[in-house]
Amino acid sequence: MRSDLTSPEEVAEGIYTAVTDGQDTLRYAVGDDAKGWIQARTSMSDSEYTPYMREIFKV
């Protein structure tokens, strides 16, 4: 696993928080990698974001 990605344990903690915190929050950012992708998504147009993510995931 890449060291710059959120670990499965961190994701599990995020899921647990989401289902037990009593909030009506729809989305939870778990890990710095997700926070970076969210920041990229909110700062780019669709036409910029799609090739950016394709490059990251090599698709």
Candidates 32, 34, 28, 35; CA nearest to 13 is 28
Q: What percent of the chain has pLDDT over 90?
A: 81
Candidates 30, 55, 58, 29; CA nearest to 42 is 29
Asked if pLDDT for residue 3 goes beyond 80, the answer is: no
Instruction: Give me the mean pLDDT over the 39-54 stretch.
Output: 95
Q: What is the pLDDT of residue 40?
A: 93
Residue identified by tokens 């939870």 is: 28
Mean pLDDT of the chain: 92
Report the sign of the C-alpha dihedral through residues 58, 11, 39, 3, in that order.
negative
Q: What is the pLDDT of residue 9?
A: 96
